[in-house]
Amino acid sequence: MKRIELLAPAKNKECGFAAIESGADAVYIGGPSFGARVNAANTSEDIKELCDYAHLFGAKIHVTINTILNDQELEKARELTFKLYDAGVDALIIQDLGLINGPLPPLEIHASTQQDNSTPQKVQFLEKAGFSQVVLARELSINEIKKIRENTTVKLEAFIHGALCVGISGRCYLSAAITGRSANRGECAQLCRVAQSLYDAKGNVLAKDKYLLSLKDFNQSQNLEELIDAGISSFKIEGRLKDENYVRNVVAYYRHKIDRIIAKRDDVVRSSFGTTTTNFVPDVAKSFNRGFTEYNFHEKKDNYANFDAPGFVGQKIGKLEKQKNRDLTFSLLKNTVIHNGDSLNYYDNQGVLNGFRISTLKDPNTAEIFQEIPFIKAGTVFYRNKDAEFEKVLAGKSSCRKLSLNLTYRENDKGIVLFGKDETNTEASVEIALEDKQTANDLDKLKANITSKLGRLGDSVYTLNQLEIKLSSSYFVPQSVLNNLRRQLIEKLNKLKTEKRKEIVHNFENAPMLPEKEQHLGFMANIYNEKALDFYKKHGAKDIQPAYETDRVHDEECVLISKHCLRYCFNLCPKRHKVKAQDLYLVIGKAKFRLDFDCKNCYMKLIGPLK
């Protein structure tokens, strides 16, 4: 039986709790340091609290240590892994192979997507080296994923939703090349989200100040079952910088999708337990997104970017009917309702995105805007990128997760016993001796009192499924004793689950030789410390160079490799548009790059910055 894991992001403890409550089977979160999101660090104490809560449901916590590390950082990171183990963490997600060249705690070690896990040979190597789970590259097609599965048995993890990096993860040096801030060090400046210009070899402008590298967001909601059949067991939502509302909505959305698939199949089960209820209808289109794409999943070439805006434009709500000073009247789409506080966007006559907030509604179709607004042409299309009412609902106690619990109450010669077993198959019993044993006068009242007090589970993660009362002596029991009996059982069940963890034996010292491609990566091997250098030397690397981030002289080098192709987007693809290949140049700020094209494998490369 295949266990399916919905893996959610968390920038902090609160987002982690929201993810678990909304139905996540696992959460990935940054530790105190060394994560690929430098602004999403968390204390060991917060992580322990999150682990304890997640483990109540059989859910897991993965911590990211997915940056490359210098020699001083490496040993600190190694110490941190043992502290995280003590906090109850279930898995570590790592990029730097220097970490596996030395002791690690008995946890699952996952290969970060920052390692560019994109071929059967690479994933075979990682499996034989001792990794428990491999995070696949986002660029992979369904056929490439199937080929990896056919040649490996390790657990495979795939992204299904969220922001897309335009460059192959772990092989993108664009930020480091221009600003000195390295994505591999957790400090990406996100230069793919700033305006760029495209020129041909003669200097003709093909696009001026457009967001040519700003990809739409990944959305695999229609392909989940195909991914299951291809061998994916962990379904990952991107978003470790997103807020609680985003996490609640997106996790609940995919929880519903995956549960429907599990319900109709007999070969898959969920990897954690509990039932989530929400007081909202999940809709990923209402949370931050840049528009959606399935990227290269079915190998359908497309413009994967939104050239006009790098952020959240919003859902189309209708068109402007008329404007009177600051009052705007809309012709709304069917079933569309606007609210006070909604944020609206529109493109002006120059194609620039503008927006404002609705101050107050004068009627269902007319909004007053308190701020100064320009004249807007009738017929202009409007979008909503914040639904104030939806966000308000999400911000409350909008999702709740409970475990089904069966209780058995009985008596013995000492007093009373309460036995409990929940849906995780965790079971415990508590006994309380009664000093003054008296027989109850009213049996029905006794049973009603027992049922009432033992069924009070509201503040816990449990909901009562069944209570069996077995009376042999019909002892009268004070309400305070019954309440104490219930509390002790809940505490015991919770303690058993927070202490339960499978220890993993690693065999990284027996890692095989690197695959041929990995032996010739040059600076793209990201070797930043002596332990990583030693590992690569021992495992067959031929072209060994220090990482791009070291103090080395940079020539005009490949700083980005992408499935996104600007030749294709501008109808200049020799393969598909049957035109003569021509040289293209991309300008970002003051930096200029030459575009190279690997048409056989359908990749675009940025070379530079040009001198």
Q: pLDDT grade, residue 475 (50/70/90)?
A: very high
Residue 183 lies in a domain: no
pLDDT at 551 over 90: no
410, 376: one domain: no
Please give the pLDDT value at position 554.
Answer: 84
Please check whether residues 481 and 385 belong to one and the same domain: no
Distance (Å, whole) CA 90 – CA 113 = 18
Q: What pLDDT was estimated at residue 40?
A: 67
More confident residue, 480 or 555: 480
Please report the pLDDT score of residue 500 as a whole number. Answer: 81
pLDDT digits (tens, 9 = 90+) for 136-174: 999 999 999 999 999 999 999 999 999 999 999 999 999
Nearest to 110 by CA among 98, 89, 88, 95: 95
Q: What angle do CA 246, 33, 242 make, to 5 degrees?
A: 10
Residue from 426, 429, 404 nearest 418 by CA? 429
Inform me whether the pLDDT recorded for 36 exceeds 80: no
Q: Which amino acid would we find at residue 74?
A: L
Please report how the helices 71-87 and 530-538 are oriented relative to each other, as an axis angle in degrees rounded to 10.
Answer: 90
Place of tokens 């927006």: 355
**Residue 392 burial by Cβ neighbours in a 10 Å radius (0-12, 13-18, 19+):** middle
Note the pLDDT tens digit of each residue in 228-285.
999 999 999 999 999 999 999 999 999 999 999 999 999 999 999 999 999 999 999 9
For residues 322 and 382, state if they share a domain: yes
Residue 544 is assigned to a structural domain of this protein: no
Q: What are phi and psi of 591, to 5 degrees?
A: -95, 135
Task: Please identify, among 499, 534, 562, the residue that sits at the C-terminal boundary of a domain.
Answer: 499
Q: What is the pLDDT of residues 304-354, one digit of tens each?
A: 999 999 999 999 999 999 999 999 999 999 999 999 999 999 999 999 999
How far is it between the farthest Cα atoms of the chain? 101
Would you state the pLDDT for residue 552? 78
Length of the chain equals 611
Number of compact structural domains in the chain:
3
pLDDT in tens, 391-443: 999 999 999 999 999 999 999 999 999 999 999 999 999 999 999 899 999 99
Q: What's the mean pLDDT in 210-220?
A: 98
> Residues 13, 54: one domain?
yes
Least confident of 43-52, 121-130, 434-443, 557-566: 434-443
Element (H, E) at 488: helix 479-499
Beta strand 60-65 with 91-94 is parallel
For CA atoms 47, 52, 55, 57, give the dihedral sign. negative
Question: Do residues 316 and 373 both lie within one domain?
Answer: yes
* Domain contains 198: no
Same structural domain, 360 and 264: no
Mean per-residue pLDDT for 290-296? 98
How far CA 584 is from CA of 197, 314, 568, 597, 605, in Å, comes to: 11, 32, 12, 10, 11
Is residue 101 within 8 A of residue 71, CB to CB? The reply is no
Full domain range(s) for residue 324? 305-395
Nearest C-alpha neighbor of 607 from the set 598, 592, 599:
592
Mean pLDDT to the nearest integer, 181-208 = 97
Q: Rounded to 5 degrees, what angle do the CA atoms 380, 384, 386 make?
A: 155
In a domain, 439, yes or no: yes
Q: Quick one: which of 373, 307, 306, 305 has its CA closest to 345?
A: 373
With beta carbons less than 8 A apart as the criterion, state whether 177 and 167 touch.
no
286, burial (CB in 10 Å: exposed 0-12, middle 13-18, buried 19+) = buried
Give the CATH number of the domain where residue 330 resides. Answer: 2.40.10.170
Q: What residue type is assigned to position 607 of the chain?
A: I
Q: What is the pLDDT, as a whole number, of residue 438?
A: 93
Two tokens, residue 395:
């911000």
DSSP SS3 for 321: strand
By three-state DSSP, how is residue 362 classified?
Answer: strand
Check whether residue 243 and residue 158 sit in a common domain: yes
Q: Domain check: are 118 and 86 in the same one? A: yes
Among 111, 112, 10, 80, CA closest to 51: 10
Within-domain flag for 170: no
**Residues 310 and 434 placed together within one structural domain of the fold:** no
The helix-helix angle for 479-499 and 44-55 (nearest 10°) equals 110
- Other Cβ atoms closer than 10 A to 443: 11
The domain spanning residue 56 has which CATH number?
3.20.20.70
Please tell me the predicted confidence (pLDDT) of residue 436.
87
Give tens-digit pLDDT for 53-73: 999 999 999 999 999 999 999
486 with 347, same domain?
no
Q: Residue 39: inside a domain, yes or no?
A: yes
Could you report the per-residue pLDDT of 333-347, keeping only the tens digit for each? Answer: 999 999 999 999 999
> Strand runs (DSSP E) across 471-590, as ranges?
522-527, 544-546, 557-562, 584-588
**Of 475, 499, 523, which residue constitutes the final position of a domain?**
499
Would residue 542 count as lying in a domain? no
Q: What does the H/E/C string look like for 76-140?
A: HHHHHHHHHHHHCCCEEEECCCCCCCCCCCCCEEEECHHHCCCCHHHHHHHHHHCCCEEECCCCC
Could you tell me the pTM of the whole model?
0.96
- Is residue 609 reached through a cis peptide bond, with omega within 30 degrees of 0 on the bond before it? yes
Report the sign of the C-alpha dihedral through residues 446, 448, 450, 452, in that order. Answer: negative
Q: Residues near 553 by Cβ (< 8 Å), separated by ≥ 6?
A: none
Asked if residue 211 has pLDDT above 80, the reply is: yes
| H or E stretch covering 41 | none
391 and 416 part of one domain:
no
- For the residues of 371-385, what is the DSSP string, one character each? S------TT-EEEEE
Average pLDDT over residues 95-106: 97
Q: Is the Cβ–Cβ distance between 253 and 259 less than 8 Å?
A: no
The encoded tokens of residue 518 equal 């990995």
Nearest Cα to Cα of residue 589 among 215, 192, 196: 196
The CA distance from 210 to 232, in Å, is 36
Residues 210, 154 contacting (CB under 8 angstroms): no
Tokens linked to 548: 């791009």
For the ranges 317-326, 358-367, 499-508, which has the lowest average pLDDT? 499-508
366-392 pLDDT, tens digit each: 999 999 999 999 999 999 999 999 999
Task: Give yes or no: residues 378 and 427 share one domain.
Answer: no
In this prediction, residue 611 carries a pLDDT of 86
Cα dihedral across residues 254, 85, 426, 460: positive or negative: negative
Q: How far apart are the first and last CA of the chain?
A: 57
Bridge partners of residue 469, in order along the sequence? 409
Residue 379 has what pLDDT?
A: 98
Residue 154 lies in a domain: yes
352: which residues sit within 8 A by CB, 6+ positions away?
A: none
Of 499, 520, 541, which marks where a domain is finished?
A: 499
